[in-house]
Structure 1
Amino acid sequence: MIARKIQASIEDSLKEFPVVGLIGPRQAGKTTLAKMILERMGTGPLYLDLELSSDVNKLRDPEMYLRRYEDRLVIIDEVQRMPELFPLIRAMVDQKRRAGRFLILGSASPALVRQASETLAGRIVYRELLPLSLDEVGHSNTDRLWLRGGYPLSYLAAGNDGSYSWREAFIRTYLEMDIPQLGIRVPASQLRRFWTMLAHSHGQLWNASKIAGSLGISAPTAKHYLDILSDTFVVRQLQPFFANVKKRLVKSPKVYLRDPGLLHALMRIKETEDLEAHPSVGASWEGFIVEQIIAAKPDDWEAYFYRTSAGAEIDLLLLDDTGRPVAVEIKYSLSPKPGKGFWSAIDDLACEKAFVIFPGDESYPLQKNAFTLPVAQMHRIFE
């Protein structure tokens, strides 16, 4: 079993907050992690899975049932299936406030959970469990993680065929079952076409009119579809950085599929050889590294991209805890050569640190406080 970095953070939060919300995409390992926490805490906690009718039946009178466990940690899995529990949890916490009363797990993002959990304001802290990261599987497994993605059952499959089949099944289940269960009424076939179009424009600026025209839908509908995929953790909208510079700045977000395995499944890429030969290999690598860096960054760091109409561009712009910019360029090349736009952007923002992430083995200086950085040394970004 692969140890998850976030476990310690969750356990610390349970010592401080009455309610901890563990959110993330389905099949990312939330249930497995909750059971690992359960094992570490011994026989005390109560675990309820709202996908099981037997556990749902226990909550026919939820107040009576849960009051029997006031002095124990109660773990509720797939809590979004029973939103009527949130007011009760609030009332129980207010009557007897102590840390570690509830650990709730959900497959919806904070934006969706918030619809049912506004009453828990001041009582809950959210922690997001992502698919497996390089820090968790080890940098010697970079190629495997890049091809298969970080969903545990995809990454750990016996072979690439089994991994690909699992991802295909995940996509079907997500579209045909998971989305409807969240109360979202969008035809599965339409959303799959939209998702596939995003895969083929992975890492590009969001262009609602172009995608809407291709699908025969309105631009607002296309944006609605994008928000659905973002709110359920399968797409990232990386926002542009608006600096106080006298430049015309790009205002649209860049769109990435967050898991490279799902990206490759939607693009029919099954093997490393197929990926290496694909015209989108550079975009795939960029998105993969963007996700790894964002997963590893400290909580008080912020992530953007930077682009001007004149061509100055930074793939990933990080702001440290003091607001100082750190520029990150991502190249799938053993001899990376940033373009003029990268150096112009560094000048625009007066970046004191800049890195070019590449699949090589050695870090070496370029110019203007910029260094190449192998994937295994990405932690140096935050030093």
Structure 2
Amino acid sequence: MIERHLLSEVLQGLQEVPAVCLLGPRQAGKTTLALRVAELIGGVYLDLESPRDLAKLSDPEAYLLLHLGELVILDEVHRVPGLFPILRGLIDQARRRGKRAGLYLLLGSASLDLLRQSGESLAGRVRYLELTPFFVLEPTDRPLEALWLRGGFPESLLAETELQSFRWRQDFIRTYLEREIPRFGTRLPAEMLRRLWVMLAHRQGGTLNAAELARNLGIDVRTVNRYLDLLVDLFLVRRLPPWHANVEKRLVRSPRLYIRDSGLLHALLDIIDMETLLSHPVVGASWEGFVIENLIASAPTGTTFYFYRTAGGAEIDLLIVWPDGRRWAVEVKRSLSPRPDRGFYAACEDVRPEKQFIVYPGSDRFPVGQGIEALPLIELARLLQAQKHTA
């Protein structure tokens, strides 16, 4: 059992609010984490994709009343949307009895339905947390290169061989294309969806150009945008927004797109091993996306993330904005002798961040001039994590 970074936040949430909603992609480890919570504090677990467990909720109010006052874990709860009004009533009933926290742990692998359904019903009664696949601060005992190559999904990262890991990711992609995504009403054939996904992989870290994607696929822009929204809501793609500074410069205003898990990115591009990755044209963009995802996963709740780029080439790969308005600027380099680009200096003059970093694949931390530090990914991830405890 690898202790998940989010465990303490789930336990804290269950002490403070009636319901905690744990979101994240399929196979990220939500069920394992929930069962660990049940081991620690007790609880009843129901998998709502299991006919046997679903049958227990043929009269959901009566069943849940039997367990009112103890933790009930509902896995894939968005599959039964009619539960949310019932949960609201039971939470209010428990409050009147003096039980104000720790009633429900809800698990969901798709944010769009879950948030729409629970938004009104459970407003003010639920805390949302996102469980990512494994990231750099979690004790997997796997080297950084393996985490980058294979990605953070447990079955992929912990596979015995590179080939087994690669095949697991291929199966995962196929399952999403053929089973998961069609559940949400998309009418595109699975092969066309795969082509779009592969196009995104080749454009890793590029700015969104929906018209170009639509033209290459022979479909309309609205369909492309709807499918991109779905991939974002399924926690598979990240749309990193641009930061709009109050400066008299022409800024890039389209978001950047990243396949969130580096292992899925590599599977889409048929990259099986590190040798192939290091010689592939996507290696720099892959490393950049991997760094960005790990830093975002390491930061405290409430932190926001952007990129910054002007038409003149001033650029910050990741701009971290703290809840109090402070800004940290991050440039990502694959070189073992990292030096900031001229565009990074220019962007920092515009944005005026409190701290400036270059993340590179080496192991030492050292200054590179003008207040900029070069450091390994894990070092900056720890700095971000430390901010959680000082906030």
TM-score by length of 1: 0.96
Per-residue deviation at 1:376? 2.9
| Alpha-carbon distance change, 176 to 140 in structure 1, aligned in 2, over 3 angstroms | closer
Which one of 159, 162, 165 corresponds to residue 161 of structure 2?
159
Distance 1:363 1:227 in 2: 38
Q: Is the 8 A contact 2:17 2:127 kept in 1?
A: yes
Q: Say if 2:189 is the partner of 1:191.
A: no
Instruction: State the partner residue of 1:18.
Output: 18
Cα distance in structure 1, aligned partners of 2:339 and 2:32: 43
Three-state SS of the structure 2 residue aligned to 1:190 is helix
Please name the residue that 1:37 is paired with.
37
What amino acid does structure 1 have at the position aligned with 2:87?
I
**Matching of residue 116 in structure 1 with residue 96 in structure 2:** no
5+ residue gaps, structure 2, are: none
- Amino acid aligned to 1:62: P
Is 2:76 the counterpart of 1:78?
A: yes
Equivalent residues, number: 380
Q: Is the 8 A contact 1:134 1:141 kept in 2?
A: no
The within-5 A match list for 1:1-383 is 1-42=1-42, 45-97=43-95, 98-109=100-111, 111-117=112-118, 118-137=120-139, 141-378=143-380, 379-380=382-383
Q: Distance in 1 between matches of 2:188 and 2:77?
A: 22
User: SS where residue 243 of structure 1 aligns?
Assistant: coil
Q: CA deviation at 1:347?
A: 0.6
What is the rounded CA distance, in whole Å, between the counterparts of 2:309 and 2:74 in structure 1?
43
CA-CA distance at 1:176 after TM superposition: 1.2
Structure 1 residue 139, shift from structure 2 partner: 8.2
- The amino acid that maps onto 1:380 is L
Query: What is the CA-CA distance between 1:100 and the residue it aligns to?
Result: 0.9
In 2: Cα distance, 1:19 partner to 1:352 partner: 37
Tell me the alpha carbon deviations over residues 205-257 of structure 1, each in whole angstroms, 9 at most, x when there is no partner: 11111111100111121111111100000000000001111111111000000
Instruction: Encode CA deviations 1:249-270: one digit per residue, 9 max, x unaligned.
Output: 1110000000000000000000
Please state whether the residue corresponding to 1:76 is helix, strand or coil. Answer: strand
In 1, the alpha carbon distance for the partners of 2:36 and 2:141 equals 24
Give CA deviations for 1:102-133 in whole Å, capped at 9, x if unaligned.
11101011x33122112111111111100001
Structure 1 residue matching 2:318: 3-state secondary structure: strand
Per the normalisation by structure 2, the TM-score is 0.94
Q: Secondary structure at the match of 1:366?
A: strand
Contact 1:328 1:355 in 2 (8 A): yes
Q: Which amino acid aligns with 2:368?
A: L
Q: 1:328 to 1:138 in 2, by over 3 A?
A: farther
**Cα distance in structure 1, aligned partners of 2:37 and 2:357:** 37
Compare 363-372 and 307-316 and name the one that shifted more. Answer: 363-372
Q: What amino acid is the match of 2:201?
A: A
The alignment-based identity, stated in percent, is: 50
Shift of the 356–27 alpha-carbon distance from structure 1 to 2, 3 Å rule, reads: same
What one-letter code is carried by the residue in structure 1 that aligns with 2:25? P
Q: 1:271-323 CA deviation, whole Å, 9 max, x = no partner?
A: 01000111110000000000010001122321100001111000001112321
Could you tell me how far apart the structure 2 residues matched to 1:68 and 1:157 are? 41
* Cα deviation 1:28-63 (Å, max 9, x = unaligned): 000011111111124xx1110011100111111111
**What's the CA shift for 1:138?**
5.9
Q: Please, what is the CA RMSD of the aligned residues?
A: 1.4
Amino acid in structure 2 at the alignment position of 1:209: A
Separation of aligned partners in 1, 2:81 and 2:184: 11
Q: Do the aligned residues in 2 keep the contact of 1:139 with 1:375 (CA within 8 Å)?
A: no
**What is the CA-CA distance between 1:137 and the residue it aligns to?**
3.4
Cα distance in 1 between the residues matched to 2:378 and 2:131: 22
Q: Which runs of 5+ in 1 are unaligned?
A: none
The 8 Å contact of residues 186 and 227 in structure 2, kept in 1 or not, is answered as no
